[in-house]
Structure 1
Amino acid sequence: MSDSDGPPYGGEWISASAGPDGSGGHGAGHVRAAVSSNRGRALRSAIPRLDGIVSTAGRAEFSEGALSGGRQCASGAGRADGTFVGQDRGGNPSYRPPFDRQVPPGGYCWWYIDATSDCGRYALTVIAFIGSVFSPYYHWSGRGKPQNHVALNVALYGRDRNSWSMTERGEGDLVRTQNSMQIGSSSIVYVDGGLEIVFDETALPWPGHRLMPSRMSGRIRLEPQIQNDRVFDLDPEGHHIWWPVFPRARVRVESNHLPKDGWQGEAYHDFNFGDRVLEEDFEHWDWARGAVRRSGYDNLV
């Protein structure tokens, strides 16, 4: 797709981010440098750690052990920077990525959501982390205990106001079942066929928007329009996997940092998991998505 194709339905192309400046995040450019040199310090922004404040049936289930066992070779050679998508692990239409999945030392997993409003004025990204890949604290700890480095990153973007939060917490603030996860006062749950996020976080200072931290709370509800049961390797040996769970969904967003009635729009949700450190297999990571309507069909790219 070329830039001239433009965004669908008059919206804006969304670039995933885990930083207040729109950099980093799901498009984790130069992961190796970012982690080792602590360029991710904006995630803390001078506030301490803040612990207190449609396919055939196949195989999508993961064993409780590391993903390295029993996998097949990748379908083709290539770089992990967008030119390669590896082995299709199969699927199960009723399955969702389990929140109580065991993450091995050095590993990580995250649940990712992005969305844009129908009016084109608002957008969001939400990332729930276990073994936060952008955390200098996880790096400095030796990455031996991923569940002791968890966070819910919430970013709300608007023409007049931007709000961003990411508080890393320890395992004492983590509660998980197969279908739900609570991090501090926030939760993310698969329920009634969709995904619901209730967040109660601290928005960091943002020049031109607020000088002091402030409470940031709200609710996000995703209703899938397309559900995907396929899981893909991102590297030839299958240490890292990508699961686009809801390639397309509708979203409803309410927050004390938004106008009274909130907004609704188009959304996307995926899941990533790795059984070892990202920078062992990636030098950089570029990621983008979009949708175009042609001849009555929606094409996801």
Structure 2
Amino acid sequence: MRPFAVVAAVLILTAGCTDAEHDRPEWYDGQPPRPVTIDRVNGIKGPVGELISTGVRNADGAEYLVYGITGGGVRSPEDFGFALGVREPGDRVTEDASNTEGQGPPATPGFHLLQGQMDLVDGSVLPAYGYYVGHPARITVTEVGQVVDARLARWSHDPGVTVFWFDPAQVRDATQWTDLAAYDRAGRRLPGGGPAGARDPFPDVTRDGSATVLLLSFDPRARSAVVEPAVFLPGPDYCEAFGISPIDVRCAQEIAIEGDKTRVTLPLAAEPELRGVGDGDTECLGSMTGGATCAVTPAYIQDLAKADAAVSVTVRDGVLVRIAELYQP
């Protein structure tokens, strides 16, 4: 039984720039084929291709290996992912972590899921690792202004896939990572890529129905309100809605709120339904889509507008008939 992880950090922001003029990274080769037994903790099957040495060792001195897998979370025999484990006596490899693509085809060009660095109770540190479909010459992250280079290896099963990982010895604080980037041999930044096909996640508030918005103005006397279409989602759902790689720092947020930077003025019903969380009583909280359930005063809603608060609105026949505060933990 492997020790449980007590800390996991998956905080990567894929926007921005880094300096690509550093020394080239270390490249690692796969170990020669040799029969091994994989402990299939999560139903995975493998290894697919050669075992990849990482040069990183656990608290007992055993080296971590990365290897291709199928099964587990993958959706078809053609899909694949990667696992991290150590070779035990008797040529047995015990899986410590595994990753498979959950949003789109695993062979889409660019970055794919990154398993964050994890501290284990026995003092071992699992290195952060992932893969890039393409032929980068260098992969980096930025940590508090300092560039950290990944170690790289081509996957023997498909040399068009580059496995990468970060040596914990070179990491000071993985929670401060930003800007995951890949570069070609000339130092030019390569596309981030990853699963594609994301649609516009912002609602059309000019149509009848319910929508999430930021409330910018509320004037019951003038019978009008100004709103900004927005999303109000758990971090992982936010990233899926925007087609953002799950390794992005925003995916780790409990709640992500973002407006689309447009302002829409809506006519207000004579007696709109106004709902708020009040003092935070459980019965008032409602849901993340429908909003709060307890009746509040126009003055309460005006205070929400002063704070550009996230609310759920309902439009009927082109008129704003309901405003409900969205509870933020």
Q: TM-score, normalised by structure 2?
A: 0.24
Larger radius of gyration: 2
Structure (1/2) with the larger strand percentage: 2
Determine which structure has greater relative contact order: mean sequence separation of CA pairs < 8 Å that are 6+ residues apart, divided by chain length: 1
User: What TM-score does the superposition give when structure 1 sets the normalisation length?
Assistant: 0.25
